[in-house]
Structures are given as structure tokens and as C-alpha cells.
Amino acid sequence: MKPICFIAARGGSRGVQNKNIRIIGGRPLIAHTIEKAIKSKIFSHVIVSTDSKKIACISKKFNAEIPFMRPKNLATNNADGKDVILHGIKKLNSLGYKFDILVSLDCTVPFIKISDIKRSIKLMKKKKSSIVCSVYEQHLNPYFNIVEINSKGYLQLAKSKKNRPRNRQDAPKVYQMNGLYTINTKDFVKNGKKIFDKMHPLVVDIETGLMIDTKFEFKLAELIMKNKLNKFFNKKYQ
């Protein structure tokens, strides 16, 4: 039984207007993730969950399936992504789709590798895990150079240790999650959000983890796709 690919893409976006369908590299942003999922030949179905008729229409054009429209209460700024995925799983089950693994791909992470998707599924099976999440090592570190402004208006480290690290290399490693979740659907339906308390990490290259949440990051992704770096990324990160 093949996994299903699940791409959540709501119509609203606070950081970049119409981000999920904004043109980048000659195609709507969401198209890059849809095409990569189809190209991988890993999935029985590539599903897009959206509340937007426009996103649905564009997704269908690139051969994704839209078997249902997402309810408005799960398409707000405050909607929990876990609820969106769980709704999708239950809806697909009710429509007769057969699957026991769902891979949720964030369309704002266009450089994720097909090989990483395959590794996440392999890791889930090896660990008998309920959920695997992709992460990359973050050089910005709350034990060393990420700070908060305290109640007195002074800077203080976001996390503290008894003996402060003298350099970043001595600080505990920290990781940024970057939008690839591989989920055992039976475990999720049975146990709910508790499975997210025991996620197994899949460490990926930092170059694949660019997540587009701001105008700056969108411009950066455009440059990667347009300029000479494109050859490097296409060769190394497909």
C-alpha cells in the first residue's frame, strides 16, 4: 500500500500575499511541491487541502487531487496544522482512500529532496514510529546568540545553562523543523496530537530547508531558482 502525499495550502497568507500560488521559477509556488511529489513515484495520490477555489483550480492543473474543500474554521491564521492534517486523514478515509502512511509536504519548502521523503518513510518503518519530522541544524542558537528582551529592557539569552558556552560549537545543538512530516495515520487517528510529543527527527541538509514565510525568503528562493545557484540546487537537491 503506497503512502499518500498531503499538501495543505490555505488561501490567506499574512507574510506574503497569495504566497502559495505566487509565481516563482515560472510556476506557482505550490506547483513545485506537487510536481516533486508526482515525480517521486512514491505516492498513490497527491492531495491538496485548501479552502481556496483558485488554489484548487491551479493544483488540479498540475495534476493534484482535490477530493474535498477544507472548512473555513481550519483555514484561519489561528488554525492548528495538526487539526488540518487529522481532518484530511479522516476525510480521505471516509471517501474510501486506502493508506496507512501520510506524508505532509509544506509547499513553502520547495527545495526538499525526493531522497529525504524516501528516507523519512524508511526511518518511520525502522523505528516503528508514529511520526517523523524533518529538521536541519540551526546555527542560530538560544544557548549562545538568540536573545530575548526581559522585563527590565535588557537582553538575555532565550535559554540558559549553568555554564554558558564560550562559542556556538560548544552549545547544545538545536534544529529547525522544516515542513516534512511522515505520519502513521492509524496511530494519529487513535491517539490524536499526543503523537507529536514523540517525533523522530530526520536531519536534512540546511540548503533544502528554506521555508518561505516572508518577502525576503521569497526573494531569496527566486534568486536560487534564477541565478547560477540553480544549477547547484538542481544537481544536488532533486
Print pLDDT tens along the chain (238 aa).
Answer: 899 999 999 987 776 778 899 999 899 999 999 999 999 999 999 999 999 999 999 999 999 999 999 999 999 888 999 999 999 999 999 999 999 999 999 999 999 999 999 999 999 999 999 999 999 999 888 988 889 999 999 999 998 877 778 788 888 899 999 889 999 999 999 999 999 999 999 999 888 888 888 889 998 888 888 775 556 555 555 5
Residue 75's CATH number: 3.90.550.10
Same domain for 29 and 125, yes or no, is yes
Cα 167 from chain centroid? 30
CA distance 67 to 48: 8
Residues 184 and 67 in one domain: yes
| 47 and 149, same domain (yes or no) | no
pLDDT the model gives residue 165: 81
Number of domains in the chain: 2
Q: Are residues 69 and 168 in the same domain?
A: no
Enumerate helices (H) and strands (E) in the chain, giving the number of each. 7, 10
The pLDDT, as a whole number, for residue 114 is 94
Measured distance CA(207)–CA(31) in Å, rounded: 20
Please choose, from the candidates 99, 112, 86, 119, the residue with its C-alpha nearest in 3D space to the C-alpha of residue 179: 112
Q: Per the confidence metrics, is the pTM higher than 0.75?
A: yes
- C-alpha atoms less than 13 angstroms from C-alpha of 190 in its C-beta half-sphere: 7
Residues 117 and 36 occupy one common structural domain: yes
Same structural domain, 75 and 167? no
Domain shared by 189 and 159, yes or no? no
pLDDT at 167: 80
- Here the cell at position 74 is 481550519
Helix or strand (DSSP H, E) at 177: strand 175-184
Are both 183 and 169 inside the same structural domain?
A: no
Structural domain containing residue 145: 139-173
C-alpha cell of residue 21: 500560488
